[in-house]
Amino acid sequence: MHSPAHPTSLSGHNSRYLLGESEGEHQRLRDQAVVLDPLTRRFLADSEICPGMRVLDLGTGAGSVAAIAADLVGEEGRVLAVDRDANALEAAQRALSKRPQVEFAEMDLRDLDLDEEFDAVIGRAVLMHLPDPVAVLRRAADHVRPGGLLCMHELDVTHQWTSVSTPLWAEVRSWIFEVFGTSGVHMRMGPDLFAAFRRAGLPDPHLTVDAPVGGGDELPTFGWANVVEALVPIIGKLGIATADEIDIATLTERLCAEIDAADGIVLGPILYGATCTIDGGDPSAGQP
């Protein structure tokens, strides 16, 4: 899942991104975007991100969400994409070179401090990897102009992934749950968005939910295998399974074959959207 901000480590004590900051991880995020981008594009369009807007993209990573925002705001708009990973920003800048309205800045979301306000602040699968997502929401809201939008798209990975329980799917689920649980990832950040907005002192957000789903030739299995690919080193480090046992090269094929043989369907990662309009008050007022 896209989480290019500053998640906890296995020990939960530092701010390194759990899935790493290598070129391989950047490519994995670009691959993952094929599954998630249509959902995020629909969410941001429905949230009324429109031509001419100035948009701040939090934890841009490979730049996929920034590209969507750039398409929506058009040539007359502007997108500032921020991330803590300089290498990711460099790669994203190359990928988005034909979108001159996108600018990039290296920045830790926990210390977000910009001398400007935006028409909208957006982010995808960012809060789930942060030790204090509520604090980041407050900081983000400080950078939204009065009447502007705060739009967050976050995952729920705890739902039932398949219509039929099968051995390999159960095993893959256990791998992801153990790593995320050990690492402090907020696996239900999507359904917890409403509470997080309230705790940040923000208006109640409008909520949406969307997910890839299909069976047969349209099984969205890749989304889950894509996550495992990023976790292979950590799964091994924790002694959960070896690389040979995971066999990432054939994992998607084996998962598809198993669920198809059971006449089952796959529900990909669920994305919850939360959008509110900032009224210009101090979102941190009265907060501890």
In the block, which residue shows the tokens 């670009």? 30
183-206 pLDDT tens trace? 999 999 999 999 999 999 999 999
Residue 193 lies in a domain: yes
Model pLDDT for residues 145-182, shown as the tens digit of each residue: 999 999 999 999 999 999 999 999 999 999 999 999 99
What order do you get walking across the sheet with 102-106 strand by strand?
102-106, 78-83, 54-58, 118-124, 144-156, 270-277, 206-210
Domain of residue 194, residue span:
23-156+185-211+268-277
118: three-class secondary structure by DSSP: strand
As a whole number, the mean pLDDT across the chain is: 88
- The DSSP element (H or E) to which 249 belongs, if any, is helix 248-261
Distances in whole angstroms, Cα of residue 175 to Cα of each of 13, 55, 164, 182, 258: 22, 36, 18, 11, 18
DSSP per position, 159-208: S--BSS--HHHHHHHHHHHHHHHHHT--TTTTTTHHHHHHHTTPPPPEEE
- Read off the amino acid at residue 25: E
In a domain, 166, yes or no: no
Strand partners, 267: 213
Mean pLDDT, to the nearest integer, of 222-227?
87
For residue 80, what is the domain's CATH number? 3.40.50.150
C-alpha pair distances (Å), 216 with each of 219, 226, 255: 6, 19, 12
CB-CB contact of 277 with 155 (8 Å): no
Within-domain flag for 249: no
C-alpha closest to that of 53 among 1, 121, 103: 121
CB atoms inside a 10 Å sphere around CB 15: 16
- Report yes or no on 201 lying in a domain: yes
Cα separation of 173 and 167, whole Å? 10
Cα Rg of the chain, angstroms = 19
How remote is the C-alpha of 207 from its chain's centroid? 16
| H helix count then E strand count, the chain | 9, 9
| Cα–Cα distance, 225 to 248 (Å, whole number) | 8
Instruction: Compute the distance between CA of residue 95 and CA of residue 121 in angstroms, rounded to an integer.
Output: 21
Longest C-alpha distance within the chain, in Å?
57
How many structural domains comprise the chain? 1
Are residues 12 and 34 in contact, defined by beta-carbon separation less than 8 angstroms? no
Give pTM, 2 decimals: 0.86
**What separation in angstroms does the CA of 112 have from each of 89, 137, 143, 168?**
16, 10, 9, 42
Please tell me the predicted confidence (pLDDT) of residue 226.
Answer: 86
pLDDT of 287 > 60? The answer is: no
Least confident range of 3-7, 40-44, 94-98, 224-228: 3-7
43 pLDDT band, cuts 50/70/90, is very high
122 inside domain: yes
Residues in CB range of 90: below 8 A, 6 or more apart: none
Asked whether residue 75 is assigned to any structural domain, the reply reads: yes
| 119 located within any domain | yes
Report the pLDDT value the prediction gives residue 138, as an integer from 0 to 100: 97
In a domain, 261, yes or no: no
